[in-house]
Amino acid sequence: MEIKFLWTEDMTVHNDVLDMQHKQLFGKINELLEAIVNDTAHDVVDEMIHFFKDYMDQHFKYEERYLTENTYPDVEAHKQKHDVFVDKYYELKDKIQDGVDANKIVLDIENFMGSWLTQHILVEDQVYAKYFQDHGKNQ
């Protein structure tokens, strides 16, 4: 049985850069799931930690700037949700540095990222996408 997170057009936020970044995140999480299934997850932990750091640095900054420049009224609340991701990232990174078993970390990453996809991208990001659509600000 194959488990994958699939991107569908109803997930778009109507911004090509953000949609591409979200698709990239889906792809990385699918790589992680495949590694878990193939029992090679311990081999990808460092790669995933680096990817999420880059994702935070690039995606969150771009998205927050996009929301600010388009005068999204709930930009601060959205930033706070990003802060939750950042906090979880550092928690996972600290566990790795403390020598916690890689297989345990991989499951934590997968569980967190699955929740992030379903809650943040599929719910929270859709709130601003709808707001921009309703206010004629799709870009």
Long-range contacts of 37-42 (CB under 8 A, 24+ apart): 37/3, 41/102, 41/103, 41/106, 41/107, 42/102, 42/103, 42/106
| Per-residue pLDDT at 1 exceeds 50 | no
Evaluate whether residue 106 is within a structural domain: yes
Give a yes or no: residue 53 inside a domain: yes
Assigned domain for 98 exists? yes
Q: How far apart are CA 80 and CA 98, in angstroms?
A: 27
Structural domain total, the chain: 1
Residue 139 lies in a domain: no
- Say yes or no to pLDDT of 74 above 90: yes
Q: Is residue 4 in a domain? A: no
Is residue 37 included in any domain, yes or no?
Answer: yes
**Residue 1 is assigned to a structural domain of this protein:** no
Query: What CATH number should be reported for the domain holding residue 89?
Result: 1.20.120.50
2 assigned to some structural domain:
no
User: What is the percent of the chain where pLDDT is above 90?
Assistant: 42
Domain that holds residue 123: 9-134
Average per-residue pLDDT in the chain? 86
Report pLDDT digits (tens) over 102-112: 777 777 877 88
